[in-house]
């Protein structure tokens, strides 16, 4: 069990550029979550996958955001036309049940 991994750990981009983050969950975890965390706040739910199906999206996830989980393994989160307000830590978590969620180290996005 190597834990949840995320790549990259840090990303600096200019406003208007597109960025893509990757999350590799713990193997055999069929549930995968994306959260966003800004400084001094707790994580906020963005979206949920059960296997390859995206079953819930938060209203925070504007049409500039898209997430996928092909084949029910790794997941990607893409942000198009980034804005300064997108600067945050993007956390991925996985679980085998609705019980404990295991979080990855996060991708810190800075939009300049």
Partner 1 sequence: GQNIDQPTEMTATEGAIVQINCTYQTSGFNGLFWYQQHAGEAPTFLSYNVLDGLEEKGRFSSFLSRSKGYSYLLLKELQMKDSASYLCAVRDGSSNTGKLIFGQGTTLQVKP
Taking the least distance from each CB to partner 1, the nearer of 28 and 99 is 99
From candidates 43, 82, 88, 90, binder to partner 1 by CB under 8 A = 43
Q: At its nearest, how many Å lie between partner 1 and the CB of residue 44?
A: 7
Q: List Cβ neighbours of 25 (8 Å cut-off, separation of 6 or more).
A: 4, 32, 73, 74, 75, 92, 94
Query: What is the token pair recorded at 93?
Result: 């978590």
Q: At its nearest, how many Å lie between partner 1 and the CB of residue 13?
A: 19
From candidates 7, 30, 66, 105, binder to partner 1 by CB under 8 A = 105
**What track of x and - describes contact with partner 1 for positions 65 through 94 (by CB under 8 A)?**
--------------------------x---
| Measured distance CA(29)–CA(25) in Å, rounded | 7
Residues found near partner 1 in the complex (CB under 8 A): 4, 31, 33, 35, 40-45, 48, 50, 55-56, 91, 95, 97-106, 108
């Amino acid at each position: 069990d190597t834990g949840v991994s995320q790549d990259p750990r840090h990303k600096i981009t200019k406003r208007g550029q597109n960025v893509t983050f990757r999350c590799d969950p713990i193997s055999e975890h069929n549930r995968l979550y994306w959260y966003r965390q800004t400084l001094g706040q707790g994580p906020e739910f963005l979206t949920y996958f059960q296997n390859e199906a995206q079953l819930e999206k938060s209203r925070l996830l504007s049409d500039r955001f898209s997430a996928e989980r092909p084949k029910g393994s790794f997941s990607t989160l893409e942000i198009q036309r980034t804005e300064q307000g997108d600067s945050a830590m993007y956390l991925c978590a996985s679980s085998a049940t609705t019980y404990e969620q295991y979080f990855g180290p996060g991708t810190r996005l800075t939009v300049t």
